[in-house]
Amino acid sequence: MLIAWLVAGAFIPRALPSLASVTQGNNSAFLPASAPSQHAADLAAPFGANNLIPVPVVAATPAGTLTPADQAWITGLQGDLAKVKTVVRVHDLGRSAGGQAEQLQVLSNVNGGDDVGQKTLIGSLRSTIANANPPAGMQVHLAGNLAINVDQQAKTGNTGNQVQLVSIIFIIILLLLIFRSLLAPIITLLPAFLAVAISGPLIAEASHAGLKVSQLAQILLIVLVLGAGTDYGLFLVFRVRENLRTGLSSRDAVIAGVTKVGESITFSAATVIAALLSLLFASFQIYSSLGIPLAIGIGVMLLAGLTLLPALLAIFGRAAFWPTKNRAGASATGAWGRAAGRLVRRPAIPLAIGVIAFGGLSIAVTGYKGAGFGGAISAPAGTDSAAGTALLTKYFPTSAINPTNLVYKLPTPVWQDPQPLVAAQSQLTSSPLFTGVTGPLNPVAGVTLTPAQFTALHSALGPARSLPAVPPPGSSVPPRAYQAYRATAQYISPDGRTIQFQTALSAGDPSTTAAMNQVPSIRTEAASVGHTLGATDYGVGGEAPAFYDISAISNSDLAHVIPIAIIVIGVLLAIVMRSLVAPLYLIASVAISYFAALGLAVLIFINIQGTAGISFILPFLLFIFLLALGEDYNILVMSRIREEAHRYSLREAVSRAIGFTGTTVTSAGLVLAGTFSVFAFVGSRGSGGSQFRDVGIGLALGILMDTFVVRTVLVPCTAVLLGRWNWWPSHLSRTAADVPAAAAEPAGQEPASREEPAAQEPAG
């Protein structure tokens, strides 16, 4: 078994693509086709030259204006770029207003889903520019979404490696403190490490079948599989150590451990997979696309936990726990054993205190504000795309600041009747929603074409998209008018039936919440302008509309996906608990834990740090992960309580179960919270920014609160107060709460062993 896993861990990553090569960082790429902003993007497709992928190239001389020699070099570069594989053609979009920069547009037919091809394209374009030897002082860089996305993938790959490395170091140190042995941490972690190594390439291969993978999914996969995998390892390793202390041989201890804990591990993984697959019902693909990748990771981890980990424990036996002594009969009461004894005597008091404290934190949820709707769409610092974006912003602001685009479909080519453009331009310019508007009649700053001039230029020059950078010799068209008409290619499609206006919003930066909230009014104004133009269809595109749609779809998904996840996990809990009552308060405990954790995140990030909002993804992921991972610990604790309840009264069963599982649960919680903290710290320094920070810290806080308070205090207290009704309608519900269940063993069965097992040795 060990050899099989080692071979798989070595072969699969070499045979399949890496996960980092297929990730996407722009959240708007995950919007459904029905989203209004996506409809606008579809309308604007003609500006991408029939779905060819555009790559802006900016050449600038900050020390002065472009010289004829510079222009000759740029013309030569245009020809060189056109020879790059998958490049269909290269357009010269003209000079900046001050004459310091020129913008080229490379159009490629590289497949939108071919991540390797896109990476190759960007690398080839950069090599071509470098080999062309730009004139002294000239800066030439790539910009645009494709170049940024390629740089982000490289940055995210490094971030993922850092998260994995730091997480492994953290887990090993923590496990060394928990076990106080040299081999146990490695044995516990190795299956999780191999699961990460194998599941990543499997997911990357699945992406070629249409599965979208976000940067968040890539980093969460590492954190979740390492954290949850270590948790499952702790469940089994602690039970094997306990069995060794009862005098069993090494192999018998492993067999008995898998027999008892195997069901808990299986159902724990099943609850996580069920919660993740419930995300498939989400409309927003950044949620729905999380489900399958993470479920694949947990599935591989479950297989490793039930096969590789027992094999390792069987191979090493008692040596796995060296130098600690696990002699038969060795015992230690442990802090959780003593605490559990006090809890079961007066369960109502700690339960009431916990509910009041968590309820107080939950009030802070009313201050929640969403943010981070765009994801990691900015170019990573220090990259070529970052330099290109800076040049584009400086010299071509209308095309660089992600303007809000108003796109219209016309019944006839615009040059047949350009007069309505004047009324539409005037209507947009006078609207208080916009501070600047550029369009077909004013494509260059300082130059405005009349309808008659536009018609005459089209008759004299033909389609603007095919014009060279400078007028041909002998042309009677003034250079200023020539450059203005050539620039209309950004606003008029080749067939003349689609036009667009680029606007600057009075609400400010399109990525802000104020701009997002202005979108309904912008869409209303766009509809009115469409009537003025006689348009047959229209759309509003750009950051603000996309973020508005993301916010609306995210809230809608939160409302209809969570009930599905609750029902599915409730059914699984009912099966493993053999009860219809226990799942009710176990899921309720997740709800109170969720609102308290989200409230604490609001207090930390918004009230104390003063940030504008928390990543909009956090409320959704926090619920799904607390529901799934919280039930992991519920299954472990409640399964042990049920096991002990067959031999002891419920109060004694709860006390003993918490004594045995308290260290396991809190150790597992520390591991998982620690890995999410690593995710927050390392991820926030990469291209994920504050989104990774919010998600990582929010989940870490939620898991710590859930582990140290809800699972080990509130849930056991509730179980004691409910008594035998915990198990209704199973056989245990008909056993008196204060009478050992051994008296009611079914006829023909031997009673369970009365040997007093040793309590868990305390962590640290």
Q: What is the pLDDT of residue 165?
A: 78
pLDDT digits (tens, 9 = 90+) for 524-538: 999 999 999 999 999
The residues, any chain, with a CB within 8 Å of residue 602's CB and separated by 6 or more, are 364, 365, 367, 368, 614
Q: What percent of the chain has pLDDT over 90?
A: 18
Per-residue confidence (pLDDT) for residue 42, from 0 to 100: 84
Inform me whether the pLDDT recorded for 51 exceeds 60.
Answer: no
Averaged pLDDT score across all residues of the chain: 80
pLDDT tens by residue, 600-646:
988 988 888 777 777 777 887 787 777 767 777 778 788 888 888 88
Whether 220 shows a pLDDT value over 80: the answer reads no
Confidence of residue 685 (pLDDT cuts 50, 70, 90): low
Mean pLDDT of 557-573: 82
Question: Can you name the CATH fold of 1-49+180-331?
Answer: Multidrug efflux transporter AcrB transmembrane fold (1.20.1640)
Which of the pair, 366 or 758, is modelled with greater confidence?
Answer: 366
Q: Is the pLDDT of residue 754 over 60?
A: no
**Greater pLDDT, 78 or 711:** 78
**Model pLDDT, residue 445:** 65
| DSSP codes joined into one string, 226-274 | HHHHHHHHHHHHHHHHHHHHTT--HHHHHHHHHHHHHHHHHHHHHHHHH
Cβ contact 691:615 at 8 Å: yes
pLDDT at 87 (0 to 100): 87
Q: What residue ranges do the domains of the chain occupy?
A: 1-49+180-331, 52-157, 335-364+556-737, 403-469+478-541
Taking Cα atoms as reference points, which of 419, 489, 427 lies closest to residue 453? 419
CA distance 374 to 550: 9
**Radius of gyration of the chain from Cα atoms?**
31
Distance in angstroms (rounded) separating the CA atoms of residues 289 and 279: 8
Taking only the tens place, the pLDDT of each residue in 149-158 is 787 767 655 5
| Common-topology check for domains 1-49+180-331 and 52-157 | no
Q: Quick check: 88 pLDDT over 60?
A: yes
Distance (Å, rounded) from C-alpha 23 to C-alpha 683?
Answer: 15
What is the predicted pLDDT for the residue at 157?
Answer: 55
Tens digits of per-residue pLDDT, 440-455?
Answer: 998 876 678 899 999 9
Q: pLDDT tens, 169-204?
A: 888 888 888 888 888 888 988 998 899 889 988 888
pLDDT, residue 313, reads: 92
Residue 300 or 392, more confident: 300
Percentage of the chain exceeding pLDDT 70:
86
pLDDT band at 746 (very low <50, low <70, confident <90, very high): very low
What dotted CATH number matches 52-157?
3.30.70.1320
The domain defined by 335-364+556-737 folds into Multidrug efflux transporter AcrB transmembrane fold (1.20.1640)
The pLDDT of residue 690 = 63
pLDDT tens track for 484-533? 888 888 899 888 999 999 888 888 777 777 788 899 999 999 999 999 99
Distances, alpha carbon 647 to alpha carbons 355, 578, 638, 715, in Å:
31, 17, 15, 21
